[in-house]
Amino acid sequence: MIIILIGAPGSGKGTQAAALCGKFGFTHLSTGDIFRAEMAAKTALGLKAAEYVKSGKLVPDHVVTEMVAIKLEDLKGGRYLLDGFPRNLEQAQTLAGVLSKPGAAIDLVLFLNLTHAEAMKRLTSRRLCGGCGAVFNVLSRPPQTEGKCDKCGEALVQRDDDTEATARKRLMVYEDLTRPLAAYYKAEQVFYEIDAGQSPEEVTASLAAIIQPLLAAR
């Protein structure tokens, strides 16, 4: 089973992926998280990706698709939640090619729709735990102790690409390259649009209501 989460930076893909993986046991595949881990470990892939991620541009397609193809190699039988991939039409077409083998297909595309104004507010107020990576928000999900992770006590940090200027750039890139995927996938009958402006719990409930019948039918 493959579910794709599409949405602007800050629309809640990571937040919802964590909730849905906890609820339904999906394997979460976030290309952004993979790049950040590779960048932190200063691997060859991380060094290649860093200049793009830090400036809010997309990492070149061949770098991304090679990495995702390795992760998806063993698709058959797994339940995957893709967060941040595909990100443009070329990547969507590459994914379609990878999935053309028997037993693998896209089951659902879930589009988290959010205004840019709300996305900017969420991105510039997001904080991450430098230790375990847990996600907080100084406005909507503050930690119990200011600046410290509730789970492991490590200091909270801001993502390098969450500055106002880079967040704006990412939203422009999203509008140009990623949003057109909504129309691309709408043409198939697996597309649902969700109001991502609701509370995190309401968004999770909306998504779960779409996913549950699909799982029940398996």
Catalytic annotation, residues = 13, 87, 126, 159, 170
Residue 51 burial (CB count, 10 A):
10
Which region holds residue 133: left if phi is over 0, alpha if psi is between -120 and 50, else beta?
left
* Binders in 155-174 for ligand AP5, by CB under 6 A: 161, 170
Name which position in 10, 14, 56, 86 contacts Mg ion (CB under 5 A). Answer: 14
- Quote the CA–CA distance of 126 and 115 in Å, as a whole number: 17
Cα four-point dihedral sign 147, 150, 151, 152: positive
Question: Is residue 143 involved in binding ligand AP5 (CB under 6 A)?
Answer: no
Report the C-alpha dihedral over residues 136, 140, 145, 150, rounded to 10 degrees: -40
With respect to Mg ion, which residue has the nearer C-beta, 5 or 72? 5
* Residue of minimal Cβ distance to ligand AP5: 32
- Quote the CA–CA distance of 144 and 150 in Å, as a whole number: 6
Q: Which stretch binds ligand AP5 (CB under 6 A): 49-57, 71-79, 145-153, 186-194?
A: 49-57
Shortest Å, Cβ 99 to ligand AP5: 16
CA 109 from chain centre, in angstroms, equals 12
Name which position in 4, 29, 59, 67 contacts ligand AP5 (CB under 6 A). Answer: 59
Shortest Å, Cβ 71 to ligand AP5: 12
Shortest Å, Cβ 190 to ligand AP5: 19
Shortest Å, Cβ 137 to Mg ion: 12
Number of residues that make up the chain = 218
Name which position in 20, 84, 181, 206 contacts ligand AP5 (CB under 6 A). Answer: 84
Cα→Cα distances 99→1, 67, 92, 172, Å: 11, 15, 10, 29
Amino acid at 151: K
Interface residues toward Mg ion, by CB under 5 A = 13-14
